[in-house]
Amino acid sequence: MAKKYTTREEDYSKWYNEIVSRADLAENSEVRGCMVIKPYGYAIWERMKEVLDKKFKETGHSNAYFPIFIPKSLFEAEEKNAEGFAKECAVVTHHRLIDDPNNKGKLIVDPKAKLEEELIVRPTSEAIIWSTYKKWVQSYRDLPILINQWANVVRWEMRTRIFLRTAEFLWQEGHTAHATKQEALDEAAQMNQVYAEFAEKFMAMPVVQGLKSESERFAGADETYCIEAMMQDGKALQAGTSHFLGQNFSKAFDVKFATKDGKQEHVWATSWGVSTRLMGALIMTHSDDDGLVLPPEIAPIQVAAIPIYKTDEELEQITVLMKELELKFKAKGISFKYDDDDNRRPGWKFAEYESKGVPVRLAMGPRDLESGKIEVARRDNKTKEIQDFEGVVDYVENLLKDIQNNLYNRALEFRTNNTQEVDSYDDFKVKIKSDGGFFLAHWDGTSETEELIKQQTKATIRCIPLDRKQEEGKCMVTGKKSEGRVIFAKAY
């Protein structure tokens, strides 16, 4: 019998780490704060990339690649706009190692190989990209520029957690340039919508689309769209952001274009990104006390099949049938793994695929052979049933859709059950401790009030929902006028 997981109830954070480790998703490396993404975890990320990349291309974007290093001086130009931007970053100061003359077999940094100007490992690429766009843009004919980049970035985080906050992480960053303000605003909204659809349709993760308050906004942005999801401990997780950057970067890097009328104007900009943080969101949305649970649309293995046998002859008979299934699943584009590894026992395999969140697990033994049956187990609700072998492929195809819907609905129900309106600040202070979840409350729109609430409760404004009801109300703290409720929560 496989070792039990720590339950969410017992220790949520330990539970998370155990899922990551036992599903073979990732592990800490020998470099502080940097993770190794293992093949199974990477396969999930690859699937996310595939779906998103297709969507980016359908909406007119192309991929490109910009340097990993940003000269310090470009960082300074950006700083003017983005004073709040983190300066915790990896700084390259030298370009050579030499043998240590005093210690054989050891290496030291060559003091003669000091760089004239330090290079920063990119924490995000606005600076290097906008200094490049300056060369690309002369006239309205050169616009829009619709570029995305898949890349690694580094932010020197003090407290790290696999997928959720790591020094190095993988992401995509879109950087677009437009002739008009409206076009840039539309682009930012469109890409947030792309993220929301991806989260809901593929990750089966309900999200709230909204705008960030000024203090939660990206420092270089005039407006930040976001998608916010609720994790099973009731905390919010920001799963993606899309920024309307106004003319901040085009002014910092002096990027102008000639309009049709021959006037010189600054370009309008957006940037938008999601990262390997989505892996953390995926884990914490669906997994249970028996391990990872994956929605079929994102699962690298959608169906795993295990033979149960004593004799070689039994194995052979089962294998013939399984190979038949394999072809049929393949024809339907369903990923199927027949695991006939003789080094592992069926019980071990059952536990393994459960830990790895494989949506459907099949099993077939000698009795099933005789009766023309097969066992079908679903990971989401842990039910099992015996099905006719004949027609099982169609059955599983429908079951996968069912599981996808069920996971979404379950998460949505959880969010609904853990979202409440609150009108009194006293109430709020009690409930944010006792209940967790999302709180819909009126707020007077000032950073001061927001900061006060954060200081006193650790809750922040996650977003101003795009689809919120317009209702007159009074700020729960100051009693000043408010036009609608915003979402408060503790957050990752």
Contact map string, positions 158 to 197, toward a copy of itself, x by CB under 8 A: ----------x-x---------------------------
144 upstream amide cis, omega within 30 of 0: yes
How far are the Cα atoms of 3, 139, 322 from residue 389, in angstroms, in the given order? 32, 65, 10
Q: Whose CA is closest to 247, among 224, 220, 216?
A: 220
**Element at 386 (helix H, strand E):** strand 384-388
Which residues have a Cβ under 8 Å from the Cβ of 386 and sit 6 or more positions away? 368, 373, 374, 375, 376
Q: Decide whether 64 or 327 has the Cβ nearer to a copy of itself.
A: 64
Q: Which of 20, 52, 154, 487 binds a copy of itself (CB under 8 A)?
A: 154
Q: Which residues ranging from 20 to 79 are in contact with a copy of itself (CB under 8 A)?
A: 27, 29-31, 34-39, 42-43, 45-46, 62-72, 74-76, 79
Q: How far is CA 245 from CA 153, 167, 217, 221, in A?
A: 20, 25, 11, 4
Q: How far apart are CA 437 and CA 420, in angstroms?
A: 8
Count of residues that bind a copy of itself according to CB under 8 A: 63
Is residue 120 within the footprint of a copy of itself (CB under 8 A)? yes
Residues 342-361 that bind a copy of itself (CB under 8 A): 343
CA–CA distance, 303 with 295 (Å, rounded to integer): 12
Cα dihedral value 414, 443, 462, 408, nearest 10: 30
Would you say 222 and 198 are in contact if contact means Cβ atoms under 8 Å apart?
no
Q: Tell me how far, at minimum, the Cβ of 294 lies from a copy of itself, in Å.
A: 17
Q: Is residue 327 close enough to count as binding a copy of itself by CB under 8 A?
A: no
Q: Binding a copy of itself by CB under 8 A: which of 106, 367, 384, 458?
A: 106
Residue among 252, 281, 242, 220 nearest 86 (CA):
220
The one among 128, 205, 229, 374 contacting a copy of itself by CB under 8 A:
128
Stretch that binds a copy of itself, among 15-23, 117-125, 243-251, 435-443 (CB under 8 A): 117-125
Position 220 contacts a copy of itself (CB under 8 A): no
Nearer to a copy of itself, 170 or 463 (CB): 170
Return the C-alpha torsion angle 416, 417, 422, 427, nearest 10. Answer: -160
Choose, by CB under 8 A, the member of 87, 263, 458, 469 that binds a copy of itself.
Answer: 87
Nearer to a copy of itself, 173 or 288 (CB): 173
Which tokens is 439 given?
């709180």
Question: What is the nearest approach in angstroms of a copy of itself to the Cβ of residue 381?
Answer: 29
Q: Which residues lie near a copy of itself (CB under 8 A)?
A: 27, 29-31, 34-39, 42-43, 45-46, 62-72, 74-76, 79-80, 87-98, 105-107, 109, 118-121, 128, 131-132, 135, 141, 147, 151-152, 154, 156, 168, 170, 343
